[in-house]
Amino acid sequence: MKDNLALKQEIPFGRPWIDDKDRQAVMQVLEGHILTHGPKCSEFEGKFEQFTQGGHAVTTSSCMASLHLCALHFGWGPEDEIIVPAQTHVATVHAVELTGATPVFVDCKLETGNIDPEKIQEKITSRTKAILLVHFAGIPAEMDTIMEIAKKNKFTVIEDCALAVGATYDGKHVGLWGDAGCFSFYPVKHMTTAEGGMLISKDKATADTIAQFRAFNVDRTHSERKTPGVYDVVGVGLNYRMSELQAALGCSQIEKIQQNLKIRKQNFDTLKSGLLAIPGLKVLDSDNAKSINSYYCLVVVLDDTKLAIQRNNILAQLKEHNVGCSVYYPQPVPRMQYYQEKYGYESSLYPSAEKISDHSIALPVGPHLIQKNMEQIVATLDHIIRNL
Ligand SMILES: *Cc1c(COP(=O)(O)O)cnc(C)c1O
């Protein structure tokens, strides 16, 4: 049985979906002479606005850059406390830390992996300035409740949407609930520009100001310069721009996003129903009708003490059986060395985040895979668990 399974086709965890149209799009830019500051970034921003509906988009060099731009734009500093999820990519928290503000960690809900709104309340102080949340693995956070808290306290809300292209809450795309949303086009995300990111905001002035800041805070773009070379600088700034090569790839990638999301949903549904037939497994997913998952991957929690302590063994065996898997995320951020040393760590404060880090497995559902691969994942995991 074991050998039989091991011979099966390799299932990578993530693989960018690049086809001839993508390659041609990049080559076309190379054949011209505008490699940056050009029409492709604007075109990509337009397509992204059309897809997310109702916001203003700004291309950036990465999601981390988008998050950093938000933290700087909203003026976070050493006097401020920013509420962040304990269970997220470290980039979410780095954006706060880079400004000198203090990240205040909040545990997640075990059903979704998302920040628990009830636990936000108890972390609010007179210094709290904003909530920076993540939509965990593409599952939208409870945006109506969170926005209510924010409104009552006049907090800024920033959404880390790195894994949430296509995720909506109550019909609105994530990133448009708060003051800004940050996306990633890193190779294994929903769509890619190699490196690259986007920022969206329902507020045009926010998007415009951040766009200017991300390009040295020069007061006019190349196309707006009537006299060549003549411009002024209205404040300090950065260079967090996306190149035309990347934007061309983004334009081509976004054409496939609906198909991409459809395959992800099918794969997720097949994998979820297969896994739920195995005792002791719990699958993180949207837990209410308002929230539409973008199915970045499937996070399965080993919800049984005997299984849970074998998590790393199961990961190793899945790899042996050619099933790509990962952990989202391997530590609650406050437990990572840097943050633990700086702020101390008390594990009793983050039981759900710890459970996800220590007792879960992330499995692939991307468009590089078909239903048969999902069945193979279920059979392999079932086999491993039975033979523990
Ligand atoms: C990948 C990821 C990031 C970082 O994205 P980059 O584009 O690589 O900077 C940030 N937040 C989350 C939740 C991510 O998954």
Ligand 1 centroid to Cα of residue 267, in Å, is 23
Give per-residue pLDDT as tens, 8-64.
689 999 999 999 999 999 999 999 999 998 999 999 999 999 999 999 999 999 999
Position 251 scores a pLDDT of 98
Token pair, residue 369, equals: 């895979």
pLDDT interval class at 5 (50, 70, 90): low
| Rounded CA separation 305/189 (Å) | 32
Q: Is residue 369 predicted with pLDDT exceeding 70?
A: yes
More confident residue, 269 or 225: 269
Ligand 1 centroid to Cα of residue 18, in Å, is 20
Mean pLDDT of the chain: 96
Mutation pick for ligand 1 pocket among 13, 84, 89 (CB with most ligand atoms within 8 Å):
89
Give per-residue pLDDT as tens, 249-308.
999 999 999 999 999 999 999 999 999 999 999 999 999 999 999 999 999 999 999 999
Map residue 57 onto helix, strand or coil.
Answer: strand
Q: Are 327 and 357 in contact (CB under 8 A)?
A: yes
pLDDT interval class at 373 (50, 70, 90): very high
The CB of 134 under 6 Å from ligand 1? The reply is yes
Q: Which atom of ligand 1 is nearest to the CA of 91?
A: 10
| Rounded CA separation 221/228 (Å) | 11
Position 226 scores a pLDDT of 79
Ligand 1 centroid to Cα of residue 91, in Å, is 6
**Phi, psi at residue 384, to the nearest 5°?**
-65, -45
Q: Are 300 and 384 in contact (CB under 8 A)?
A: no
User: Which residue's CA is minimally distant from atom 10 of ligand 1?
Assistant: 91
Question: Of 64, 67, 56, 41, nearest to 246 (Cα)?
Answer: 41
Position 1 scores a pLDDT of 45
User: Which residue's CA is minimally distant from atom 5 of ligand 1?
Assistant: 63
Q: Is residue 4 predicted with pLDDT exceeding 80?
A: no
Ligand 1 centroid to Cα of residue 182, in Å, is 9
H/E run at residue 385: helix 371-386
The CB of 114 under 6 Å from ligand 1? The reply is no
Position 343 scores a pLDDT of 98
The CB of 357 under 6 Å from ligand 1? The reply is no
Ligand 1 centroid to Cα of residue 228, in Å, is 37
Ligand 1 centroid to Cα of residue 337, in Å, is 19
**Phi, psi at residue 71, to the nearest 5°?**
-60, -40
Ligand 1 centroid to Cα of residue 160, in Å, is 8
The CB of 139 under 6 Å from ligand 1? The reply is no
Position 219 scores a pLDDT of 86
Token pair, residue 42, equals: 């604007």
Q: Which atom of ligand 1 is nearest to the CA of 184?
A: 7
> What's the whole-number mean pLDDT along residues 202-225?
91
Position 259 scores a pLDDT of 98
User: Which residue's CA is minimally distant from atom 2 of ligand 1?
Assistant: 162
Mutation pick for ligand 1 pocket among 66, 87, 159, 163 (CB with most ligand atoms within 8 Å):
163
The CB of 160 under 6 Å from ligand 1? The reply is yes
Return the amino acid letter for 225: R
Q: Are 61 and 47 in contact (CB under 8 A)?
A: no
Position 7 scores a pLDDT of 54
Q: Residues of the chain with pLDDT > 70: what percent?
A: 98
Q: Residues of the chain with pLDDT > 90: what percent?
A: 94
pLDDT interval class at 229 (50, 70, 90): confident
Count of other CB atoms within 10 angstroms of residue 28: 14
Give per-residue pLDDT as tens, 292-345.
999 999 999 999 999 999 999 999 999 999 999 999 999 999 999 999 999 999
